[in-house]
Structure 1
């Protein structure tokens, strides 16, 4: 006997909207959805399980009487026309939940092992001078222009910046997908990063689907949120005004850390071309979009001209990124996974597991693997054996 279940139509529609499905996706993955919504037919339990899996919805939620309230778990600093963006995607929510779970584990680990708190968390305020705080950040990271000049590629600059941020006690996770699921790509147009602030386990997550140069700016922007002592979800807007004081301040700090105003005024040759933007971007190891913003800040570009040039440059950057993605392979799991997890976090989990304090089953879950051999290979890659 086939068991069919009734589900409130509002819950089915909520699950589809939450997953961001288009009409085409619905037709492919849930062709009988219209009949279920109209209550002309009911799904079998197996059909409902497949639907829950496809929409990344916990099955139990589909048996509620109405859609649950699912607020953003951290302060949302993203804006669209100075209005808050109200509907987060399931990919974004699952990413935040996973990072919160890892942060909770690491907080307990730090406490149990007597690790000191991170002293600069919450040490600044939006009333502080962005230039003064930028000097503090550059000093803490040792990421000034002479140090950056030694990096040959964006990827090397990003890796070194990650290492230096982790070296001052902050977990840094960079990923362009949800967990280890390569079919769930994060959308940089939805968010670029977030900070989960904690005095013992501060954490920064960067959307790895963005360009390497853009990730560098976002990382320092989120680092500024840690200095403020405020968790935040950000899109780090540069081409539009924001009324959010914290976002504006964090942008100013990040821009001054990476491209000091006095320096760009001296370095700029006065001819705004693609080659000049790329030269300056290579010099400072940031995106050409950040260079445009600093040229505006230095009064070389009026606001209207800056916005127009920003849109043109953004299209060029996106086209180049799309072309590179189309020609690149999937990458090496054992090379990318430690970056997705945070090397500092992964080393702590592995060490705690080898000491018998964290069960292997829990370690597999925290590290995003299901097999012992994969765990062992990660140990070899991270060098934590």
Structure 2
């Protein structure tokens, strides 16, 4: 098979440095011999198209990126939001870096399609003027802004946030380009943008845990007005901006008024029974037992010792039991689960208006097969 000789090895070297790996490690990752990669980097030798495509896919770039003769200009390759997250967490894996860039590309697709549709169905994000040091007051304002009642779950919270011009993505439980690996400590991240921020939540076994992550990332968008990336440990932090984000998330999910529905006298003495005691409230409010207990402790209705005993009992179970595997009989629904109703409907509306081809719609919807795109159209018309 013919080899492409016009590869710019400096661009491969830049990508390797950007992802924190060596060319030798890259060769092992993409199934190219170390000798062949060395010849490309040092002797001007080429790669087959399939080999180059493997390299491009690994770095989340197009093949043409590695054929350009000009040196890489980092500010043109990485957005300010990406650089913010990378500086916060220098240990980000290549796979996670690719995910962040992929999310940014999806946002650009969404905005370009909205411009073409020229409809009133979507209103761009407008930042709220919230008190900078009064988290409780800010949380009350945000609950009103989102129009939240006393019955919520992850999807209703997501819908309320998306209605304010913020995209909410949830990573896939299946192994692939839209997954945050189970072993990764990352729980979610926010990419701030004045017109259309994006919040990404890791797929978890517990929807209540996803809801808390969503509200935590929303705090970074609304309170801090910045891009942010969070590990699971940050969702329990008592320091700085993470403390504010956790307080905000708890107050939005479980405001003080909700406590009228809880009977302290019926609280069981056994810590193992607390889940069952709070189960009706957990299901209604979309908040985990831990969040409810933390809020009860904050208002002086639960001893610290009881909360800590519960934390020890259930340590990390919500994050480490990620839902993976299972049937993919409903593959056509996956883009909606991952990208949200707002994004998916924008793609389908653009297809219906003939602004994009069926092939492009497929690409924008995680590479759905044509038949699955039509199945998704029917499902969104009659969910």
TM-score of Structure 1 vs Structure 2, range by shorter chain? 0.7 to 0.9
Corresponding residue for 1:205?
A: 200
> Is the partner of 2:240 in helix, strand or coil?
coil
Which stretch of structure 1 is more off in the superposition, 3-12 or 134-143? 3-12
Q: Give the unaligned 5+ runs of structure 1.
A: 149-156
Corresponding residue for 1:93?
A: 100
Alpha-carbon distance in structure 1 between the residues aligned to 2:263 and 2:229: 30
1:139 and 2:144 aligned: yes
Question: Cα RMSD over matched residues?
Answer: 4.4
2:128 and 2:222 in contact (8 A); partners too: yes
Corresponding residue for 2:180?
A: 186
Corresponding residue for 2:55?
A: 51
Alpha-carbon distance in structure 1 between the residues aligned to 2:207 and 2:244: 23
Corresponding residue for 1:280?
A: 278
347, 350, 356: which one aligns with 2:354: 356
1:175 and 2:171 aligned: yes
Change (3 A) 1:318 1:216: closer
Change (3 A) 1:4 1:167: closer
1:243 and 2:240 aligned: yes
Change (3 A) 1:185 1:227: closer
Alpha-carbon distance in structure 1 between the residues aligned to 2:127 and 2:255: 23
Corresponding residue for 2:341?
A: 343
Alpha-carbon distance in structure 1 between the residues aligned to 2:379 and 2:239: 42
Alpha-carbon distance in structure 2 between the residues aligned to 1:116 and 1:182: 30
Aligned-pair CA distance for 1:379: 0.9
The number of residues matched between the two structures is 361
Change (3 A) 1:312 1:55: farther
Corresponding residue for 2:135?
A: 130
> Is the partner of 2:190 in helix, strand or coil?
strand
Aligned-pair CA distance for 1:256: 0.2
Change (3 A) 1:126 1:15: farther
Aligned-pair CA distance for 1:135: 2.3
Q: Deviations over 1:51-108 (max 9, x none)?
A: 33344343344456877635464277879xxx82135433332332233213422552
Q: Deviations over 1:251-270 (max 9, x none)?
A: 32211011235755965637
1:218 and 2:225 aligned: no
Alpha-carbon distance in structure 2 between the residues aligned to 1:281 and 1:68: 53
Change (3 A) 1:229 1:184: closer
Change (3 A) 1:184 1:167: closer
> Is the partner of 2:186 in helix, strand or coil?
coil
Alpha-carbon distance in structure 2 between the residues aligned to 1:287 and 1:78: 28
Q: TM-score, normalised by structure 1?
A: 0.72
Q: Give the unaligned 5+ runs of structure 2.
A: none
Change (3 A) 1:222 1:106: farther
1:108 and 2:115 aligned: yes
Alpha-carbon distance in structure 1 between the residues aligned to 2:354 and 2:36: 53
Alpha-carbon distance in structure 2 between the residues aligned to 1:203 and 1:40: 41
Aligned-pair CA distance for 1:18: 2.6
Corresponding residue for 1:153?
A: none
> Is the partner of 2:225 in helix, strand or coil?
coil
> Is the partner of 2:143 in helix, strand or coil?
helix
2:216 and 2:235 in contact (8 A); partners too: no
Corresponding residue for 1:151?
A: none
Alpha-carbon distance in structure 2 between the residues aligned to 1:28 and 1:369: 23
Aligned-pair CA distance for 1:310: 4.4
Corresponding residue for 1:36?
A: 37
Q: TM-score, normalised by structure 2?
A: 0.72
Aligned-pair CA distance for 1:337: 1.9
